[in-house]
């Protein structure tokens, strides 16, 4: 399916936008990772290279031949690298960060997009995690940043209480936001199937048609939910997947193939059903060298898709 930018906005304006339509737009921007019979996009959550600055992370992705990236906001934003920071220091930094988000020129983000383009790494999503303490201006700027980066969607480790404000902004900008899950079940977080399903309910307010899912299959498994069943039921509302392995019952992160997450089943399902959902490796388990470990994860995914 070919979807022009003009047609995409026509669909969005009439509230008929779907995750499938947005993914189709994204496909025009990023090269593909091939498997036998169907192209499955195996990309990277850039948080996997959280140990290095953005330029070095881009270089590592290019070295590994990764076709696409879900860009973690921590690679762009200033960070408070001081574990022992006082409450006063944290409060001051929070205001610094808020100012950076609101006042950083759009050109800064287009320059970053150019770096990715030069490295031949597409940006399939901007990972900008909306929290309850975000001002409306900070929320709005997330969409401005994403557009300047060329990202077709936003993913967010968001809190549930901020979703109504995010939904309104998403509707304004006509951009889907994929909510990301963790394994800890909490009233204001995303972890369960019901958490996602509630957030997407149109009856709960304007813009809910733009609320989607960024499913982390490792965390979903650790919380004892079935990622395959959820994918089958909600694939039209899933904008990206996080591919990682974990043990059930809030168990440990593990190298791929050593935990209980259904990595093989999920990737094979994408291949068989031809669902064009980016599957982004997120390296989090303990390892000596992130580049070597990401390559190990990538090789595992490619071997699964080759069968």
pLDDT in the model for residue 288: 87
pLDDT number for residue 24: 54
Q: What is the pLDDT of residue 13?
A: 41
Q: Which segments in the chain show pLDDT lower than 50?
A: 1-19, 22-23, 25-37
- CATH T-level topology, domain 5-305: TIM Barrel (3.20.20)
**Percent of the residues in the chain that have a pLDDT greater than 70, as a whole number:** 88
pLDDT attached to residue 67: 95
Give the pTM.
0.89
Q: Where are the chain's structural domains?
A: 5-305
Q: Specify the pLDDT at position 141.
A: 98
Give the per-residue SS3 of the chain. Answer: CCCCHHHHHHHHHCCCCCHHHHHHHHHCCCCCCEECCEECCEEEEHHHHCCCCHHHHHHHHHHHCCCEEEEEHHHCCCCCCCCCCCHHHHHHHHHHHHHHHHHCCHHHHHHHHHHHHHCCCEEEEEECCCCCCCCHHHHHHHHHHHHHHCCCCEEECCCHHHHHHHHHHHHHHCCCEEEECCCCCCCCCCCCHHHHHHHCCHHHCCCHHHEEEEEEHHHHHHCCCCHHHHHHHHHHHEEEEEECEECCCCCCEECCCCCCCCHHHHHHHHHHHCCCCCEEECCCCCCCCHHHHHHHHHHHHHHHHCC
Each residue's pLDDT tens digit, 38-75:
589 999 999 999 999 999 999 999 999 999 999 999 99
């Amino acid at each position: 399916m070919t979807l022009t930018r003009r047609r995409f906005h026509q669909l969005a304006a009439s509230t008929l936008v779907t995750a499938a339509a947005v993914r189709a737009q994204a496909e025009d921007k990023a090269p593909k990772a091939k498997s036998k019979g169907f192209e499955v996009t195996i990309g990277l959550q850039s948080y996997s290279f959280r140990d290095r600055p953005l330029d070095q992370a881009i270089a590592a992705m290019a070295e590994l031949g990764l076709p696409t990236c879900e860009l973690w906001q921590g690679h762009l934003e200033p960070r408070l690298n001081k574990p022992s920071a006082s409450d006063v220091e944290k409060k001051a930094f929070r205001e610094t960060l808020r100012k950076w988000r609101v006042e950083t020129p759009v050109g800064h983000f287009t320059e970053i997009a150019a770096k990715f383009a030069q490295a031949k790494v597409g940006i399939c999503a901007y990972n900008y995690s909306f929290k309850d303490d975000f001002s409306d201006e900070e929320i709005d700027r997330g969409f401005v940043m994403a557009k300047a980066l060329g990202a077709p969607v936003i993913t967010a480790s968001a809190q549930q209480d901020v979703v109504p404000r995010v939904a309104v902004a998403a509707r304004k900008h006509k951009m889907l936001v994929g909510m990301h899950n963790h394994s800890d079940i909490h009233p204001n977080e995303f972890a369960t199937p019901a958490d996602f399903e509630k957030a997407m309910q149109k009856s709960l307010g304007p813009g809910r048609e733009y609320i989607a899912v960024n499913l982390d299959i490792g965390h979903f498994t650790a919380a004892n939910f079935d990622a395959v069943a959820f994918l089958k039921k909600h694939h039209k509302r899933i904008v990206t997947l996080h591919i990682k392995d974990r043990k059930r019952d809030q168990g440990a992160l593990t190298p791929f193939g050593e935990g209980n997450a259904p990595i093989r089943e999920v990737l094979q399902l994408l291949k068989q059903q031809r669902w064009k959902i980016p599957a982004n490796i997120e390296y989090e388990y303990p390892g000596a060298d992130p580049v070597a470990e990401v390559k190990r994860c990538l090789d595992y995914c490619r071997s699964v898709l080759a069968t």
